[in-house]
Amino acid sequence: NRKELRDIKRMARSKPRNKRQTLSKKHSIEKKIGRHNQKMRRLAKKFPEARKKLKKEPGVPHLYPFKEELIHKYENALKKKQEDKIAARDARKNQVKTAESTPNETK
């Protein structure tokens, strides 16, 4: 029994001589890729809200009478939005920390 196992271990395993694909295999892979991409496009059409839309900055005409005020107002709104985002993130982190520090008792 041991001798047979030793002989099996000594036998060389056959290795593939090259990595060439048959054309039928290659074409079937291409078809699968095409079907997958088509499915993804179909889903993207079905759920357009899943895609992210780029937000464009509103352009201010050069001859606008209160251009500077409008630009400052817009910049302040952006800063406030970023600060709110950071504050919300910190609040979530604090909630997670408090939840971890006080384990729930199960009965």
Mean of pLDDT over the chain: 86
Q: In angstroms, how far is the first alpha carbon of the chain from the final one?
A: 56
| Structure confidence by residue, pLDDT tens digits, 24-65 | 999 999 999 999 999 999 988 888 877 777 777 768 888 989
Q: Which of 4-8, 62-66, 79-83 has the lowest mean pLDDT?
A: 4-8
95 compared with 10, residue with greater pLDDT: 95
Find the helix or strand (DSSP H, E) in which 62 lies: none
How high is the pLDDT of residue 11?
A: 66
Whose tokens are 């251009």? That residue is 67
Structure tokens at 84: 């709110």
Phi/psi-derived region of residue 10, left when phi > 0, alpha when psi is between -120 and 50, beta in every other case: alpha
